[in-house]
Amino acid sequence: MNSLRVLIVMPVATPLGGGELMLRQLLRHGRNKGVEWMVVYLRDGPMVEETRALGIEVQLVPSGRFRDVFKRAGAVGRVAAIARQFCADLILGWMVAGELTAGPAALLAGIPNVWYQVGTPRPDWLDRIATLFPARGVIVLSRSGAAAQSRVWPARKQWLVYPGVALDEFNPDGLATPETLRAKFGLPITGPLIGIVGRLQHWKGMDVFLDAIPAILVRHPDVHAVIVGGPHETESRYPAELQARVKALGIDRAVTFAGYQPNVSEWMQAMDIVVHASDREPFGIVVIEAMALGKPVVAGAEGGPSETITPGVDGLLSPYGDAAALAASVLGYLDDPSFAKKVGAAARTRAQLFDDRHYAAHVIAALQESVAQRAVT
């Protein structure tokens, strides 16, 4: 049986968040699985050489910004030509931004198209335009994401594939103790450490996390909070806003901004409680990573975390934007260590269902089915 030849159109090549992580997982675990991959990156970055190192062919096609109409059109034509030369059976648009090039390129080349919706459609004009391109279907990350995508016209077939986690990396048995890691990172050795991990964007809720800290400090004055994550190019002012908020709240000594850190597993291992305060998170890979480490988690009550956490059993959920509710959930763990330990153990068990190897296999199965089915136009 001939391998399925899939050309992936990826808008960025710098690992910033979940979308990039999922592509890396697919390419790492999707080799020699009946698929021959090629990746077209629309921007340069470290993932270009990383992908080549896996033995996967890479093409770099700079496409410019969306307003660069002529450059964008040229990129579409070049991707179509590359796909024909590669004899692609399928063009996969990675994320909405990737589909805005992959969709028209597939149409121009006469090759079937599928795209990967890694976000939750609001919907804005990007989601609407991406969905307009004829495609055999859309891969979605959660039931809530699927419901939101279904509200964007026209309806497309969907495949629900929950993302995975590198369980071997997020295994507490293979990491140093929290105390050792706190010393390594210059964090307080004693007292509860509460952390949040993610890009510094408003919808990630770092400001809500900070607003919850004063109420927590009233009952547990030795608490320390750490924010792990770097700035995002679209919200360059947000880090300064967070710093100003810390000063306004008078919690300077209780908060550490760690910036971007590649060794997320070690930083989360150092934490006692992991908070995820995003607004309608499409899935929340960091939630599963924390659970795999056996950490008690407080996550957003809508979106992906509501499908992976059973409240009071393997985690707690808190409404987005409600700092008082978030503080109450954290205090629920701090005031009852036995409850926190029980939840953490259950969380680790739950996380074993989200192996990144299974994730890659399920994506491949969806792509194979899309090629076998009749095109939706």
Encode pLDDT of 33-50 as tens digits: 999 999 999 999 999 999
**Average pLDDT of the chain?**
95
Q: Is the pLDDT of residue 376 over 50?
A: no
Q: pLDDT category, 375, cuts 50, 70, 90? A: very low
Residues 178 and 320 occupy one common structural domain: yes
Q: Is the pLDDT of residue 207 over 90?
A: yes
Tell me whether residue 84 is in a domain: yes
Tell me whether residue 220 is in a domain: yes
Q: pLDDT category, 121, cuts 50, 70, 90? A: confident
Question: CA dist 3 to 34, 35, 41, 83, 90, Å?
Answer: 5, 5, 22, 15, 12
Q: Name the domain count of the chain.
A: 2
Please give the pLDDT value at position 92.
98
- Mean pLDDT calculated for residue range 53-60: 98
Residues 240 and 198 occupy one common structural domain: yes
Tell me whether residue 377 is in a domain: no
CA distance 43 to 64: 8
Residue in 176, 164, 251, 162 with CA at minimum distance from that of residue 210 = 251
Q: Is 14 helix (H, G, I), strand (E, B) or coil?
A: coil
Residue in 91, 138, 17 with CA at minimum distance from that of residue 146 = 138
State the helix-helix crossing angle for 206-219 and 323-334, rounded to 10 degrees: 50
Please give the pLDDT value at position 374.
62
Tell me whether residue 199 is in a domain: yes
Please give the pLDDT value at position 377.
42
Domain membership of residue 67 as a residue range: 4-164+356-372
Sign of CA dihedral 177, 178, 184, 188: negative
Contact between 275 and 326 under an 8 Å Cβ cutoff? The reply is: yes
Residues 159 and 214 occupy one common structural domain: no
Residues 92 and 148 occupy one common structural domain: yes
Residues 237 and 315 occupy one common structural domain: yes
CATH number of the domain encompassing residue 153: 3.40.50.2000
Residues 113 and 190 occupy one common structural domain: no
Residues 71 and 87 occupy one common structural domain: yes
- Mean pLDDT calculated for residue range 166-172: 97
Tell me whether residue 107 is in a domain: yes
Please give the pLDDT value at position 269.
98
Among residues of the chain, what percentage have pLDDT more than 90? Answer: 91
Residues 205 and 250 occupy one common structural domain: yes
Q: Is 287 helix (H, G, I), strand (E, B) or coil?
A: helix
Residues 160 and 256 occupy one common structural domain: no
Please give the pLDDT value at position 122.
76
Residues 253 and 330 occupy one common structural domain: yes
Residues 56 and 204 occupy one common structural domain: no
Tell me whether residue 29 is in a domain: yes
Q: Is the pLDDT of residue 317 over 90?
A: yes
Tell me whether residue 72 is in a domain: yes
Residues 362 and 274 occupy one common structural domain: no
Partners of 35 in beta bridges: 4
Tell me whether residue 275 is in a domain: yes
Q: Is the pLDDT of residue 180 over 60?
A: yes
| pTM attached to this predicted model | 0.93
Digit-coded pLDDT (tens) for 246-303 = 999 999 999 999 999 999 999 999 999 999 999 989 999 999 999 999 999 999 999 9
Q: Which residues contact 4 (CB under 8 A, 6 or more apart)?
A: 34, 35, 36, 89, 90, 364, 367, 368, 371
Please give the pLDDT value at position 232.
87
Cis before 123? omega within 30? yes
Digit-coded pLDDT (tens) for 57-71 = 999 999 988 778 888
